[in-house]
Chain A
Amino acid sequence: MSKQNDDDSDGVTINRRGLLKCMAWAGTGVVWTLAGGIPRPFNLMDTAAAASGFSFVQISDSHIGFDKPANPNVTGTLQEAIAKVNALPMRPAFMIHTGDITHLAKPEQFDNADQIIRGANLPVHYVPGEHDVLDDDGKGYLERYGKGTTGLGWYSFDEAGVHFIGLINVMNFKAGGLGNLGQEQIAWLEKDVKGLSASTPIVIFAHMPLWTIYPEWGWGTGDAAQALSYVKRFGSVTVLNGHIHQIVQKVEGNITFQTARSTAYPQPEAGKAKAPGPLTVPADQLKQMLGLRAVNYEEGTHPLSISDTMLANS
């Protein structure tokens, strides 16, 4: 159901020269602007506009505690990601972490993650990944991050006119199923957005993709369609997920879906390996597959511009 954007006469269309420039830039990161719902790349340094808007950062899948060959130093790469956040030309208002903060939900792993992420000196809004709620139904996670949340930890907040919604889709799995939001959360979401004007930009973030990317590997959320039916009326909806440790995008109507890179280790592309586990790549390639994301929003303009940056230096 991806909608093609025909409105290419608005002066934002990328030309051949711009495209080449963008490809050159791709050594350090690619910026996506969402014009008319279709993400289009441009150079972060060219966008003077980005310096005046509101921005936030998404980090994901830090897997603190992981020590296998795919990346024996996940604390080091998280530290590098935080250093990149601190080096951004524009100071973000806050960070979101889209889950799998830890690898095994151990208290010391949460502690280590906290200590490193605190280095950005920014407020952080979390949602858990399945690794953060392993053995205790999320109790340990909620004790740390659940203040002011509802149900299993979902919540919403407003910043600079944008309505942010953090959803939990990593609990109460059924055998053979996908990620799960559950009726209680979906009912909450329906109420949460009910009074909002359709012109309010919506950003939804959750760990597992809120659209089905590859069910054979569980990459999707079984009841996401019902949840998203309540935000279809909004002019701009951006869905930010993690879980699959790589960037995958999709546009459906006014809803743009984006998964993010991990700060810890890459995973194979859908179906291109026996299993979706940690992917070991040559050491010099690892940091090209890890990264973080900056999202800029300027009041009065619908599109949010999204900038994915690799940990690798140019």
Chain B
Amino acid sequence: MLSMQIDRGLLQGAQFSPRLHRRTLMAAAFVALSFAGILWPGNSQAQAAPKTIEISNFSFAPAALTVPVGTTVTWVNDDDEPHTVVESNTLFKSHALDTGDKFSFTFTTPGKFQYFCTIHAHMVGTIVVEAGQQSQ
């Protein structure tokens, strides 16, 4: 999924250059496909700093967070009560996190994601994932 996004980006970039021959384009795509898997991990670490969300007093802090695509978000439960972190359409779903337990998820697609604690449904948070940060 990660490499597919990079490839699409390269192809789109290439299409803007009228001088590029179709065959060259294909070759570029092939090279990109070959290297994307290797290059991606280093890039993601450099471009999207990991974020932490504290769970304390039955709330997510911060409850709303905006991050670039590729960001890994880690939730840490500081309460004496178990909590879960579950995206409303179950894009991600943690196990019950006891005190001190952590859960991480890497956001690879842009969008607005609502999540909640399935044990205490009044606990709700949102992550907005913004596109276009990778090329910076």
Contact = CB atoms under 8 A, between A and B. Distances in A.
Interface of A: 68-70, 103-105, 130-131, 134-135, 173-178, 215-218, 274-278
Q: Which 3 A-B pairs have the closest CB atoms?
A: A175-B116, A173-B121, A275-B58
B23 interface: no
Contacts of A218: 120-122
A226 B57 CA distance: 31
B78 to A, nearest CB: 11
A130 B115 contact: no
A212 to B, nearest CB: 12
A277 B121 contact: no
B122 A216 contact: yes
Given A134-B119, A218-B120, A277-B57, A70 B88 contact: no
Contacts of A278: 80-81
Interface residues of B, number: 22
B57 A215 contact: no
A215 B124 CA distance: 13
Contacts, number: 61
A215 B122 contact: yes
B122 A135 contact: no
Contact of B121 (A68, A103, A178): A178
Nearest to A276: B58
Contact of B58 (A70, A134, A175, A277): A277
Nearest to B125: A175
23 contacts: A68-B80, A68-B99, A70-B80, A103-B82, A134-B95, A135-B95, A135-B96, A173-B116, A173-B119, A175-B88, A175-B124, A176-B124, A178-B122, A215-B122, A217-B58, A218-B121, A275-B58, A276-B58, A276-B120, A277-B58, A277-B80, A277-B81, A278-B80
A274 to B, nearest CB: 4
Interface of B: 57-59, 79-82, 84, 88, 95-96, 98-99, 114-116, 118-122, 124
Nearest to B84: A134
A173 B119 CA distance: 8
- Main secondary structure on A side of the interface with B: loop
Given A105-B96, A217-B58, 17 more contacts: A104-B98, A134-B84, A134-B95, A134-B96, A173-B119, A175-B88, A175-B115, A176-B116, A176-B121, A176-B122, A176-B124, A177-B121, A216-B122, A275-B79, A276-B120, A277-B57, A277-B80
B59 A275 contact: yes
Contacts of B81: 277-278
Contact of B57 (A103, A174, A274): A274
A175 B112 CA distance: 15
Contacts of B82: 103-104, 131, 134
A103 B119 CA distance: 12
Contacts of B58: 217, 274-277
